[in-house]
Chains A and B, each alone.
Chain A
Amino acid sequence: MDWITTVDHKKIAILYLWAGGLFFGIGGIEALLIRWQLIKPMNDFLDAQTFNELITMHGTTMIFLGVMPVIFALMNAVIPLQIGARDVAFPFLNALGFWTFLFGGLLLNLSWVMGGAPDAGWTSYTPLSTSAYSGTHGVDFYTIGLQIAGLGTLIGGINFLATIITMRAPGMSYMRMPMFAWATFITSAIILFAFPAITVGLVLLTFDRILGANFFEPGAGGSPVLWQHIFWIFGHPEVYILILPAFGIISEVIPTFARKRLFGYSSMVFATILIAFLGFMVWAHHMFTTGLGPVANALFAVSTMLIAVPTGIKIFNWLFTMWGGSVRFTTPNLFASGFIPTFTMGGVTGVMLASAPADFQFHDTYFVVAHFHYVIVGGLVMGLFAGLHYWWPKMFGRMLSETLGKWTFWTFITGFHLTFFVQHFLGLMGMQRRVFTYLPNQHFDTLNLVSTIGAGLMGVGTLIFLANIVITSRNPMDADDDPWEDGRTLEWSIPSPPPEYNFKQTPLVRGLDALWKEKTAGNKGMTPAEPVGSIHMPSATPLPFIMSVGIFIAGFGFMFSRDNFSSGFVSFLFNNYIVTGLGLLITFGAMLMRSLYDDHGWHIEPEELEGR
């Protein structure tokens, strides 16, 4: 109950982590099933339809329901601490964002047991995703589930923007903000400007499928290419929503374990901003083969390649940070160091793909699959592992085992390269992506076997990580305030796990790497910016949860509004939008409650603060 009503950003972080972990597990199992099907030619382990559903759900789940929430988990756990804030700007909205995400994800995954999962690929290209070619409710689960989950993401993005703009501690100017806070800031801005596009796209597709609209129906004047534009105007920025937080994590971990300040801090900030900006200008590099023509292709090819410049700046800055530092290879730093070469390889294949003529060869082959897994798994997932191992003691007050952590790293990275390195060659030799089987003796057999073995090894690495969590969670809380001893930023100046008010006294920030600055000046901790006083806290409330349940019911009702059920009464409920209306009523009712009853929260008094 405590978890359902909480508005504490640190608890919401943990909720995001468990929910993201759950979906990660589902997506991982889907991946292993896909690889198992492809282990040998002409395998009949899965049929084509199931395979299509698996690849669609794997991609969708991993991107929207797996890695995004884990990113949000780390942001929620760390950002207020890093900027010296007691809370986020909107604790209530923060909880609402989590619950809508969770219920959207649940709705999407219900498709497995309710008559068929989406099967048109995670990009849901029309006309493949229109009712003519995708007759089950699968794609409806996709459009409505993602819509609800996307609402949560948007809410989260706005909340982080407002938090970072208004809640920084005294002295924490923008150019003194830790890189992870910068990454969160820019990522949230991308979310704000990219997600509404997919919101519209999903609405249009829903209308086509459920109301018989004609947006993507060429027979009635609609345009399938329109979908591709809308999808990628969102979709390309989305990949930066994923990778920029990983950049942020790496920029925290490497200086800590190199005991040096981040090389080129201001160039890192500007590179991040530039990447975000360029990210909006390059979407059509996913559409080179669509037939936009040579001029469009050339423009988008060049703008895409430009992104390699700020990205390169970042990579060199990380290397220069390590250069000459006294580097400690703890588990977080192993992951961070492993991130650099793997992500760089993904960037290189990205530039190759960005060459439009070459892309005509690479497009829709395993080469593309290899590229984006190098950036998403080799980059982002490694970054998340680095961040989780790094901040785990802060979040839970317990150290993870270094031995098991190193085992996780080595099995995971070996498995990763085994799985995806060979896919470059499979692609160059002509193996298409999204085919459920292949003929023998086309030189595909061995490499696919290797790839499947690698996937298994990554699974083992993940299991070791889980074992690490379970085993260490039985230990007593043993993490110090500054467990890595070389913490540089504000979160390491308060106890692990932090008290619910974070900072007893708001700290005064006197430079970049605020805590490190005090340490080198010989001080024991931060200087407070205010006397000890009464602290205002927001109250817990079940309303965000209830609102999300309402949206869930409404989405569900809308999806089945055109169906005939065996029971006439059920049909009546759905076909007259009674179920939809009921869901909306619950949501609006909860909103009304929220506005009727002012909640002033509560206070923690100074005596209580000293007592602890």
Chain B
Amino acid sequence: MTTTHAEPVHGGLPHEPEKATAEGRNKVLAFWLFLGGEAVLFGTLFATFLALRNQTNEGPTANELFHLPLVAAATFFLLVSSLTSVFAIQAMHRNRPALLRNWLLVTVMLGLCFLGLEIYEFSEYVRHEKFGMTTSAFSSAFYTLVGFHGAHVAFGILWISLLIGQLARKGLTVVTAPKIYVSAMYWHFIDVVWVFIFTVVYLLGKVG
């Protein structure tokens, strides 16, 4: 109890550095709780979308709008980025900061690709399909749900980039490790949410 804060461990990290200190364990636990709240948040957005997905107000319908190849490419980028963030955590557990940094960089790059495709997709809809926030209840629900997820991705990219910077300055310690671990949890979470979006919004929109 008396030394809850962390000193960098000299000569080798503990096996799971993110759980080596009470602060680290608290952080991981609290982040699980936070993700519980985030699940309700996205759950509510999904429910809203499902309630309004056919309310197109004579604007474009999901079937007219979506191009699955584009969405599939975005999905691919995001799924792979989840994999690379697993590699990053593995590198962390093996105490190899340089490898960790490289995998984090790859993750960020893949996230950027995803985000780029999404921005391209949205701008296509707005410019060529006259499909904006105000078009219909469906459009509002679409942009809000998918946009919220996109904003989460953007935040994640920013966050992990900052952590890469921190890693360079402070090295891999029992202070930085929990942060990296938690950001990976976050990244997996938004990936899982995307799987639902892909199914509920895009696949169901094309077929249902």
Q: Which residues of A contact B (CB under 8 A)?
A: 86, 89-90, 154, 158-159, 161-162, 165-166, 192-197, 199-201, 203-204, 207-208, 211-215, 217, 220-223, 226, 230, 233, 506, 530, 533-536, 592, 595-596, 598, 600-601
Contact = CB atoms under 8 A, between A and B. Distances in A.
Interface stretch (B2-10, B62-70, B107-115): B2-10
Interface string B44-55: 110010011001
B33 A213 contact: no
A222 B44 contact: no
A207 B36 CA distance: 25
Contacts of A90: 26, 30
B140 A162 contact: no
Given A204-B144, A222-B140, A213 B134 contact: yes
Nearest to A591: B162
A535 B2 contact: yes
Q: Which 8 A-B pairs have the closest CB atoms?
A: A221-B55, A221-B137, A213-B140, A196-B41, A196-B40, A200-B44, A212-B134, A222-B137
Interface in B89-137: 133-137
Given A162-B29, A165-B29, A533-B2, A211 B133 contact: yes
Contacts of B179: 595
Contacts of B4: 536
Contacts of B55: 214, 220-223
Contacts of A506: 1
A196 B33 CA distance: 12
Contacts of B33: 158, 161-162, 192
A214 B2 contact: no
B2 to A, nearest CB: 4
Interface in B22-37: 22, 25-26, 29-30, 33-34, 36-37
13 contacts: A90-B26, A158-B37, A166-B29, A192-B40, A196-B37, A207-B144, A220-B134, A220-B135, A220-B137, A222-B52, A223-B55, A530-B1, A536-B4
Contacts of A217: 137
B141 interface: yes
A127 B168 CA distance: 53
B106 to A, nearest CB: 22
Given A89-B26, A166-B29, A221-B52, A215 B140 contact: yes
B199 interface: no
A221 B55 CA distance: 5
Tell me the interface secondary structure of chain B in the complex: helix
B167 to A, nearest CB: 12
A366 to B, nearest CB: 32
B177 interface: no
B37 A192 contact: yes
Nearest to A602: B5
Contacts of B77: none
B157 to A, nearest CB: 14
A197 B175 contact: no
Nearest to B53: A221
B24 to A, nearest CB: 11
B56 interface: yes
Nearest to A533: B2
B162 A595 contact: yes
A194 B179 CA distance: 27
Contacts of A600: 5
Contacts of B137: 214-215, 217, 220-223
Contact of B22 (A161, A166, A196): A166
A222 B55 CA distance: 7
A214 B140 contact: yes
A427 B166 CA distance: 63
A595 B166 CA distance: 8
A2 to B, nearest CB: 22
A578 B197 CA distance: 32
A221 B136 contact: yes
A535 B2 CA distance: 5
A207 B29 CA distance: 33
Contact of A158 (B30, B48, B52, B57): B30
Contacts of B181: none
B187 interface: no
A12 B69 CA distance: 53
Given A199-B41, A200-B44, A220-B136, 13 more contacts: A154-B37, A158-B33, A196-B37, A197-B41, A204-B48, A204-B144, A211-B133, A214-B134, A215-B140, A221-B137, A223-B51, A233-B44, A598-B175
Contact of A196 (B1, B25, B38, B141): B38
Contacts of A195: 37
A1 B24 CA distance: 30
B138 interface: yes
Contacts of A592: 162
A220 B137 CA distance: 6
A530 B179 CA distance: 30
Given A162-B29, A221-B138, A534-B2, A193 B36 contact: yes
A201 B140 contact: no
Contact of B30 (A89, A213, A223, A535): A89
A200 B166 CA distance: 33
Contacts of B170: 598
A537 to B, nearest CB: 10
Residue from B3, B135, B137, B170 with most neighbouring chain A CB atoms (10 Å): B137
